[in-house]
Copies of this chain bind each other. A is one copy, B any other.
Amino acid sequence: MNPTRTTLSRRDQILREAARLFAERGFHGVGVDEIGAAVGISGPGLYRHFAGKDAMLAELLVGISGRLLTEGKRRVADAAGPEKALDALIRGHIAFAIDDRPLITLHDRELDRLRESDRKLVRQLQRQYVEVWVAVVGRVHPDATEREARSAVHAVFGLLNSTPHLGAEATLPGRAAMSELLRRLALGALDALDSTKDWRVTY
């Protein structure tokens, strides 16, 4: 009766496979026939579920951006103090990066393939998400200028989003170990925002 319980709806199947293919070969590198084949139907059958190829990408990017922002806000609100908030943001982002690898990849790679209106929406969501981070980082590391904090946040995103580049899972640490390692690296990077002036003068 309820197809969304354990089984994915056809629509969600399509989104899942499209995300994987777009991340692997790029938006322009994947044809609608391939997406269809990946869910067992062929080509134009997709148009029963989506207005077009662009619409699939738009839904994926708006979805991930919105979820990152919503979850980020929630975690900050639930945290007891800035340090805990920062840790919660990091943990949340890592969870996204590990569990939704294709989406994280698309999210900063194929944004420009969107229609103007969708692109503006996604960028706005991304900007708000960055603001959430910058505010927390600013409270944990008051020595840093806002500009430094903003650049550092982008850099930490790059660090946390590096998981997809680690091709095979074989040589990877397990999910928990990898998650913990990334968390430590991110916190370590941000700690370098303190004592700006005479940091590591020996070098």
Contacts of A203 in B (CB 8 A): 83-84, 87
Q: Is the CB of A155 within 8 A of B182?
A: yes
Among A41-49, A51-59, A65-73, A156-164, which stretch is in contact with chain B?
Answer: A156-164
Interface 0/1 of A143-165, CB less than 8 Å to B: 00001101110111111111001
Choose among A24, A182, A188 the residue with the greatest number of B CB atoms under 10 Å from its CB.
A188
Contacts of A165 in B (CB 8 A): 108, 154, 157-158
A27 within 8 A of B: yes
A26 within 8 A of B: yes
Nearest CB in chain B: distance from A161 CB, A: 6
A81 to B154, alpha carbons, bound, how many Å? Answer: 31
- Smallest Cβ-Cβ distance to A199: which chain B residue: B184
A178 within 8 A of B: yes
Contacts of A155 in B (CB 8 A): 159-160, 162, 181-182, 185
Q: Is the CB of B171 within 8 A of A147?
A: yes
Nearest CB in chain B: distance from A28 CB, A: 3
A135 within 8 A of B: no
Query: Copy number in this complex?
Result: 2
Q: Is the CB of A148 within 8 A of B162?
A: no
Interface 0/1 of A161-196, CB less than 8 Å to B: 110011000011100001001101111111111000
Nearest CB in chain B: distance from A27 CB, A: 7
Nearest CB in chain B: distance from A128 CB, A: 16
Given contacts A27-B26, A28-B26, contact A154 B162 (CB under 8 A): yes
Contacts of A29 in B (CB 8 A): 27-28, 113
The 9 closest A-B pairs by CB, nearest first: A188-B192, A158-B162, A28-B28, A189-B189, A159-B159, A158-B158, A184-B192, A185-B189, A155-B162
Besides A29-B113, A109-B109, A151-B178, 15 other A-B contacts (C-beta < 8 A): A24-B112, A26-B113, A108-B165, A147-B171, A147-B172, A150-B171, A154-B165, A155-B160, A155-B185, A157-B165, A158-B159, A158-B160, A158-B162, A159-B159, A191-B192
